Structure 1
């Protein structure tokens, strides 16, 4: 079994990759005079980033890269509670590191102003890409977070092939972003939301609560439903972490 320290490094690195690639597809292309990327391309960037990181790192940490996935697995009794806070902390630090690298790269463009840029941050109302209000953002983040966590739980079942699961998870995230990008700029991941918000500040920090509260509620609901429908896994062997980061 991989040690907790190594798993935390992997979770941080995978989250950093997801944020850098996904938000980079918004920030670096969106900064150009004629943006090269639209909703489809950004959604694919997030989905492919998750799929590649999962293929590469799943055996080491379970490849959560998202606090709501970790919480959902814990609620479903498929992840040890003692590792919950360290995993979430590593994911947040990874997201901040990925955002910092993105800010450094973006600063190389003449005229780039981080303070004036939304920098891939999530928002609603005046800060929604298509001016969607709070109730729309709340609904989309809650429902899509539920779907994402449930997909991760179902793909973690032992009967599912390791060669298929990462592709399904990445495809699920891409489909979610196709719908969520016009509403909130695509979140369903509190770590992904926190990184850009810390750099943008102001309104992004004021609205960050929604991108923790709604996704967490969706993730908890998915974990509870999974536990209800499929029950607890077979007796734990000392609460060790298995191949998907769940309690084995």
Structure 2
């Protein structure tokens, strides 16, 4: 019986209430809030201007809102104390996972509000447009994780956000037409486009997972080390 109780009370290694509280304080809520507000204003623009939206406008406004929130997510992994927290016992993938877990309910509520702001008669299929939004958010998180993995920059958020925004602007112009992602509702390519969106989502999540662990320490060659080796006899 004691053994079963012990197993029931077992916790995930490195996760505690104190850790959750500490991670919550490091989440860039201001950047996320700014992206959320801009996204809701984008979707609500027709209501503010008393302009009845058509289905194509409504779809693009939701896409713009998803991009705005993704730009806020680009700052999610920023950590000014990164070089201080690197040697802690809790793995980085747990800390970043906690950040994502804390933001996920907020993102879900925000996206629900964005969908409600679109009139029902012009609202695009919820499942398909939610897939697009999820893929866009995952791309921002994957880009942020890659920047953390490959560089020593503690706050790559601005650079990541600029890269995501540039990609979003150039993708419709440079992306091959036969692989297009941005199609209107009712287009014969709608289903195929969202299969590609699903592939983008899976690929982004895989990149995020691969870049989750702490970067491997680079071996540094000391000045003169090679000379000493050459000078060592036999």
* Range class of TM-score, shorter chain: 0.3 to 0.5
Higher RCO (CA-CA < 8 Å; seq separation 6+)? 1
Tell me the TM-score normalised to structure 1 length: 0.42
TM-score (normalised: structure 2): 0.43
Larger radius of gyration: 2
